Chains A and B, each alone.
Chain A
Amino acid sequence: MKRRRLLLLSGTGLAAALTVVAANVPVPQALRIALGVLIVFVLPGFAILCALFPGPQLSPGERLLASVGTSLAMTVYVSVLLGTTPMGLSQEWLALTLGATTIAASVLAGIRTRYADEA
């Protein structure tokens, strides 16, 4: 359980990092679509939920549903926020903001998951 969660979190962090990279260098369109869809609909929510609920509080089905809801809410929130700042809602800034949030949450979730399981 712990190993699988940590693996998923590693994959989440890696995909988030790739999204940031893909926003700044040319990558195949299919990869760009896959990363974009994941960062908008799944990854930030999954990382945040794992950081906030590192234990078995949520079942896999609940975690998936909540990941979609939280990610969608995060995307709306971050997009509107960026759209009101001088930086603007650009591909680079959105990828950086969502990506950085996901990576930070993944790291925190990894630490908390290990701690929660050891406790």
Chain B
Amino acid sequence: MTRPVAWPQGHEDSHIQFKWVSLVALCTAMGLGSVAIADAASRQGGDYVITSVFFWVGLLLIFAPIAFRILSNNVHPHEQLALVVLLGVALYVAKLLGSPDAFTGTDEYVHLRNTQDILRTQHVFNSNPLLPTAAFYPGLGAATAGLADLTGLSPFVSGVLIIGAGRILISACFFLVAERATGSARAAAGASLVYAANPLFLFWSSTFAYENLALPLAAFVIWWLGRVRQEAGPGPQIVATVAIVAVTVTHHVAGFALAALLSAWWLAELVIRRSGAELRNVGFMAAVAGVSALSWLLLVAKPAQSYLFTNNLVPELQQTVSVLTGRTPPRHLFTSGGHVSPAWEIVASFGAISVLLLALPLALYLAWTQRPRPALAVAISVAVIYPFTLLPRLAPSGVAISGRSSEYVFAGLGCVLGLLTAEATWWRRTRRRLRPVPAARTRWFGWRWVAVAAALTTFVFVGGVTIGTAFYERLPESANPPGYPWSVQPDVVSASQWSRDQLGINQRFAANWIDASALATYGEQDTVNENYIWPIFFADTMDATVVQSIRSTGVRYLLVDWRMIRGVPPTPGYYFSPYEPHAGNYKQAFSAGALQKFASAACTRLIYDTGSIQIFDVTLIENGSCVPALSGAARNDRSPG
């Protein structure tokens, strides 16, 4: 039996250069230090221009030296792999530095609630008020709860460790898969750089969210099957099946994406190799992945069907078509919440996309002319999707599809562009055709090409970061910011903890969508879907609509955040729900009168008040024992004004 080449094989004329590795690691450490300074300054309300300089210098110190080194000539593949993993971990740490003691991302609260519920009940499938679908994919929450149980660590630290392990796994597995697909460690290094430059890699892919555990496990399945596909016996299938099931119970889209990728691989094997054990093994695993993902969706995670298709995929695609056919005006890019991105970031974003679009045809041609490999064929078929994934970005709500697809599409895109990167650093142009650089001139000639390739990938990385996250959300928000905040504030956390201690858990609460995250996690309250409760807050008086909304939703407590009157909402452009008036199109802040009505209504009771944050008990309205319109005179105005 021939042992397939899977673990990077060293070049005969190269070895690990610890001097270079140390130098690159030092640059990475300095980069992280610079990002830490930016985060600390931003937390203290430092000037954005200055803090963002430290942030970008830090990111460049992390990315550029690694890019230059791993694309250089005669670098040992083990060194390339180690530096790719270092890049993945360093960018993960860069995200952690922004919130080193608690989860602060929107999705992180969803999965923190899952974890808390599992720790409290010791069972999965609890109701999750922030995202009901998430409760039916409990892989991340269960694993985190398990680690917290076994170690006694907090859910936060446990979650950081789980996602961190996932980051190491996906960095290493992607490099190895790309090496198999392209047949070159240097191309794999280029592929890893391009993948790390996808718009979500720095922030979104580092959050405590179920996809960020499922994707590394899916990458592990792909690497594992490629590595052991020629091994006899049931061992490879047993390990792959366990990992596939783990992906299935962790994330819906990742489960289906894995099944699709394995099916494409099987098809490519069928066309290129036509027969053999590899074809059977990959086909069997594709069937296992497809059946398990579909069965889980249809039999267990039933609410996910409407969440995925009716609520997200279909309307977003419809909106995209509507924009493309001219029936709906396109979204204003780089503007949200009254903010406009800095001009240089807009240039960098379009520049990065342009570089990718210009390089793609050449890279596809190069990949097409390579010796036929099933894995490369799959990468090509994924890469050609990239231009089309940009279109939904023009639709008002299409960012989700366009943005989220990059985690998948950049896998294929990375492989073909990595091939181009590797080839470009080995070839030189003569009068008639491209020729390999003579060995004697490799060092001198290659250096310039390596610099160009490293600079371009770094530029694409910078552009990706500017595309992936609104500029004002890259650094932590200061406590008590001047306008309407985009993240949970410390006083909301205190109010949430007070509600848990004084009112008990799982009380029906209504709040804006940012504060609801804190109430559902720090307060462990049952926050009501904001699509149903926004009329309670928007009405100018305690009219019949408010009463009806309170009764129909069973809301017993209202959390009123007076910061809403300070400014318009940032991304995604609403206070409560995309269905509220002016959602995505606010010109002025929330009406103070609409919030004052709670303090002056007879049937409400103010039970918590810190000035900015108030909690009202509306139980009397909810149970029908008091009707505001029929009650006595209004009480004194207790709004903080």
Contacts and interface: CB of A to CB of B under 8 A. Distances in A.
Given A57-B231, A66-B220, A80-B138, 8 more contacts: A36-B152, A48-B238, A65-B172, A72-B143, A72-B217, A78-B146, A82-B142, A89-B123
* Chain B binding surface, main DSSP class: helix
Size class of the contact patch on chain B: 35 or more
Given A29-B152, A32-B152, A84-B123, A75 B147 contact: yes
A103 interface: no
B155 to A, nearest CB: 13
* Chain A binding surface, main DSSP class: helix
Size class of the contact patch on chain A: 35 or more
A74 to B, nearest CB: 6
A72 B239 contact: no
A61 B228 CA distance: 14
Interface string B132-160: 00000011101101110111110000000
B218 to A, nearest CB: 10
Nearest to B78: A61
Nearest to A69: B220
A76 B143 contact: yes
A79 B137 CA distance: 12
Contacts of A49: 239
Contacts of A72: 143, 162, 165-166, 169, 213, 216-217, 220, 246
Interface string B600-623: 000000000000000000000000
B544 interface: no
Interface in B49-103: 78
Contacts of B220: 66, 69, 72-73
Given A83-B122, A89-B122, A32 B150 contact: yes
A100 to B, nearest CB: 14
Contacts of B168: 68
A87 to B, nearest CB: 8
B146 A79 contact: yes
A56 to B, nearest CB: 9
A78 B202 CA distance: 30
Contacts of A61: 7, 78
A65 B173 contact: yes
A70 B242 contact: yes
Contacts of B138: 80, 83
A78 B161 CA distance: 18
Given A53-B235, A57-B228, A77 B242 contact: yes
Contacts of B574: none
A6 interface: no
B147 A77 contact: no
Interface string B217-241: 1001001100110010111001100
Nearest to B157: A33
Contacts of B213: 72, 76
A21 B122 CA distance: 20
Interface of A: 19, 23, 29, 32-33, 35-37, 39-41, 48-49, 52-53, 57-59, 61-62, 65-66, 68-70, 72-80, 82-84, 88-91, 94-95
A73 B142 contact: no
Interface in B302-325: none
B599 interface: no
Given A39-B150, A61-B7, A89-B123, A69 B243 contact: yes
A70 B241 CA distance: 10
Contacts of B165: 41, 68, 72
B150 A83 contact: no
A39 B147 CA distance: 9
B124 interface: yes
Interface string B5-38: 0110000000000000000000000000000000
Given A65-B169, A76-B249, A76-B250, A40 B146 contact: yes
B125 interface: yes
Contacts of B228: 53, 57
A36 B243 CA distance: 20
A89 B142 CA distance: 8
A65 B235 CA distance: 16
25 contacts: A32-B150, A33-B151, A37-B161, A40-B162, A52-B234, A52-B235, A61-B7, A65-B173, A65-B176, A66-B220, A66-B227, A66-B239, A68-B165, A69-B173, A69-B216, A69-B220, A69-B243, A72-B166, A76-B249, A77-B245, A79-B139, A79-B143, A80-B124, A83-B122, A89-B124
A41 to B, nearest CB: 6
Given A66-B224, A91-B150, A83 B239 contact: no
